[in-house]
Amino acid sequence: MVELSAEELRARLPEAVRVYVTAMGYPSWATQQRIPVWSAHMSRAGWRCVAAFNERDELSGVGYGYSGDAGQWWHEQVRRGMQERLPPERIEEWLEDYFELTELHVHPDAQGHGLGEHILRTLLAAAPGANVLLSTPEGPTRAWQLYRRLGFTDVLRDYRFAGDPRPFAVLGRPLPLER
């Protein structure tokens, strides 16, 4: 388990995005679509990345995030959803100062052994912000179990992001995580 700099992740970006594509069950062509997105995220304020490697130095899990801010695509999508469902003071409580947990993925061959939790705890241990927010597809998954166990609560449920017909949940919790 190591924290990666932007340069270190960039050197392994195709491998990291393949972990994401495999874990999410996306088609392999999605790898080339996501590489530029992940690369752009690396320049955002507060960006942090944690990765786990197996004994053959292959990436088995990766997580990253950054300080969320107005004008970012995800921030604006979530704000729009919150405006439809939450009072203004609740919106500001969540969006005023948060770390966006953008990606957290463990290769299916490495799932079920606590690696995702370890990556998440390491990533959030020094994350900036008063809160952490994330989005995840709706449904019973190991990710849901992890987030609930660590105290994440519902911010938005059954939300649809522009360009994706699947329902998502936006979950959040105050920082820091307790040990």
- DSSP assignment of 105-156 equals EE-GGGTTSSHHHHHHHHHHHT--SSEEEEEEESSS-HHHHHHHHTT-EEEE
| Closest residue by Cα to residue 98 from 133, 61, 140, 144 | 133
- Just list the catalytic residues: 147
Rg (CA), the chain: 16
| Closest residue by Cα to residue 159 from 172, 177, 142 | 172
Cis amide linkage into residue 140, ω under 30° from 0: no
Torsion of the alpha carbons at 56, 3, 113 and 179, rounded to the nearest 10: 160
Q: What SS3 class is residue 21?
A: helix
